[in-house]
C-alpha cells in the first residue's frame, strides 16, 4: 500500500491501485487578477442565491457523491459544483463571469437557474430525484 498526501514540501500520489507512489515538489498555485476577480464576483452572486436552491444543490451534492463519484475520489461540495456549472455555462454562452451581475444572471441564466435545469442542460450529472429540484436560484 502506498501513501497519498502532502508532507513538508512534497506531494505524494498513489497510482496503479496503490502499487506505485509518485512524489513531486509542492508548488502553490498562482492566481491571476482575472481569476481573483471572477472568484469574488461569483461569490457575490452565490451569496444572493436563494436558500432553497442552495439546499437542493447540497442534496444533489450528497446524492452525486453516492451515485456518480468513485469511492477513491473526493466528491465536490455544492459550492464547488455551482462554480463548475457557472464556468461551463459561461463558456457555452460567451458570458463574462468577471462582469456578470445578479440582475443579468436572473435574465440570461435560465439554463442554470435550477438544479433540474443544470442536469437537463448537461452541466450536472443526473441523480435520483433531480427532476424534483426546481427551486430557483
Residue 10: which region, alpha, beta or left (left: phi > 0; alpha: psi -120 to 50)?
beta
Q: What is the pLDDT of residues 59-107, one digit of tens each?
A: 999 999 999 998 888 899 999 999 999 999 999 999 999 999 999 999 9
Tell me 130's DSSP state: G
pLDDT for the residue 8: 81
| Burial track 40-74 (b if 16+ CB lie within 10 A, e otherwise) | ebbeebbeebeeebbebbebbbebbbeeeeeeeee
H or E element that contains 25? strand 20-25
The pLDDT assigned to 85 comes to 98
Assigned C-alpha cell, 119: 442536469
Average pLDDT over residues 101-125: 97
Please state, rounded to an integer, the average pLDDT across all residues of the chain. Answer: 92
In this prediction, residues 119-129 reach a mean pLDDT of 98
The whole-number pLDDT of residue 25 equals 87
Q: For residue 126, which phi and psi values (nearest 5 degrees)?
A: -65, 145
20 and 46 part of one domain: no
Q: Assess whether pLDDT exceeds 80 at residue 16.
A: no
CA 118 to chain centre: 12
Q: Are residues 5 and 42 in the same domain?
A: no
Indicate the number of domains in the chain: 2
Tell whether 23 and 41 lie within a shared domain: no
Residue 127 belongs to some domain of the structure: yes
Q: Which three cell numbers stand for residue 39?
A: 472568484
Q: What percent of the chain has pLDDT over 90?
A: 72
Q: Per-residue pLDDT for 14 more than 90?
A: no
pLDDT band at 1 (very low <50, low <70, confident <90, very high): low
**Which residue is associated with the grid cell 464576483?**
41
pLDDT band per the 50, 70, 90 thresholds, residue 128: very high
Residue 73 C-beta-side C-alpha neighbours within 13 Å? 10
Residues 92 and 59 both lie in one domain: yes
Residue 2: pLDDT band by 50, 70, 90 thresholds? low
Domain annotation covers residue 126: yes
Q: How far is Cα 36 from Cα 109, in angstroms, rounded to an integer?
A: 22
Is residue 6 located within the same domain as residue 40?
A: no
Copy the grid coordinates of residue 135. 427551486
Q: Which domain holds residue 100?
A: 33-132
> Do 23 and 43 fall within a single domain?
no
Please indicate, yes or no, if residue 41 is contained in any of the structural domains: yes
Amino acid at each position: 500500500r502506498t501513501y497519498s498526501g502532502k508532507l513538508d514540501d512534497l506531494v505524494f500520489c498513489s497510482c496503479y491501485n496503490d502499487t506505485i507512489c509518485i512524489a513531486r515538489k509542492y508548488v502553490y498555485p498562482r492566481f491571476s487578477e482575472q481569476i481573483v476577480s471572477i472568484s469574488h464576483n461569483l461569490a457575490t452572486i452565490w451569496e444572493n442565491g436563494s436558500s432553497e436552491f442552495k439546499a437542493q444543490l447540497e442534496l444533489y451534492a450528497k446524492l452525486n457523491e453516492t451515485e456518480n463519484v468513485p469511492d477513491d475520489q473526493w466528491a465536490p461540495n455544492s459550492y464547488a459544483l455551482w462554480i463548475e456549472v457557472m464556468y461551463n455555462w459561461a463558456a457555452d454562452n460567451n458570458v463574462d463571469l468577471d462582469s456578470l451581475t445578479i440582475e443579468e444572471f436572473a435574465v440570461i441564466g435560465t439554463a442554470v437557474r435550477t438544479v433540474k435545469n443544470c442536469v437537463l442542460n448537461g452541466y450536472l450529472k443526473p441523480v435520483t430525484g433531480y427532476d424534483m429540484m426546481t427551486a430557483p436560484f
